[in-house]
């Protein structure tokens, strides 16, 4: 058995539980309430905004090795908001300004940004 197959086999119970979760089922079969879906989309938009910030910090600190500059690929989402917007559903009425991001959505990104700042 290959290493990848071993990993998939080991996590199969977890993956099955994820797929069986009521939120995931509702999202995939269309039975998720409008309010739950709206909350999900707004939280995702807030997360993507913070992710773009963290990505741009990582890209700015990435070493440049010869002709291959990893900053070009790493910062693409942060530099090209149209590409990010094209993949994202339209903003719900009221936008994201009335809703605060949950810590579970942005906590790890804030930690990474704080870690980068502490290295300066």
pTM, rounded to two decimals: 0.50
Q: With 90 as the cut, is the pLDDT of residue 57 above it? A: no
Across 4-18, 43-57, 71-85, the highest mean pLDDT is recorded for: 4-18
The reported pLDDT for the residue numbered 18 is 95
The domain locations on the chain are: 1-32, 33-118
Q: Which residue has the higher pLDDT, 88 or 30?
A: 30
pLDDT tens per residue across span 62-104: 676 655 555 555 555 555 554 545 555 555 555 555 667 676 6
The reported pLDDT for the residue numbered 19 is 95
φ, ψ of residue 68 to 5 degrees: the values are -90, 105
Q: With 80 as the cut, is the pLDDT of residue 61 above it? A: no
The reported pLDDT for the residue numbered 71 is 52
Q: Over 43-87, what HEC string results?
A: HHHHHHHHHHHHHHHHHHHCCCECCECHHHHHCHHHHCHHHHHHH
């Amino acid at each position: 058995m290959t290493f990848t197959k071993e990993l998939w086999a080991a996590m199969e119970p977890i993956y099955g539980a994820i797929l069986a979760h009521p939120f995931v089922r509702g999202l995939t079969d269309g039975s998720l309430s409008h309010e739950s879906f709206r909350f999900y989309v707004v939280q995702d938009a807030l997360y993507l905004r913070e992710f773009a910030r963290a990505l741009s910090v990582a890209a700015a600190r990435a070493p440049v090795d010869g002709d291959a500059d990893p900053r070009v690929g790493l910062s693409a989402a942060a530099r090209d908001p149209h590409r990010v917007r094209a993949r994202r559903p339209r903003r719900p009425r009221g936008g994201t300004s009335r809703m605060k991001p949950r810590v579970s959505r942005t906590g790890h990104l804030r930690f990474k940004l704080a870690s980068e700042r502490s290295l300066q």
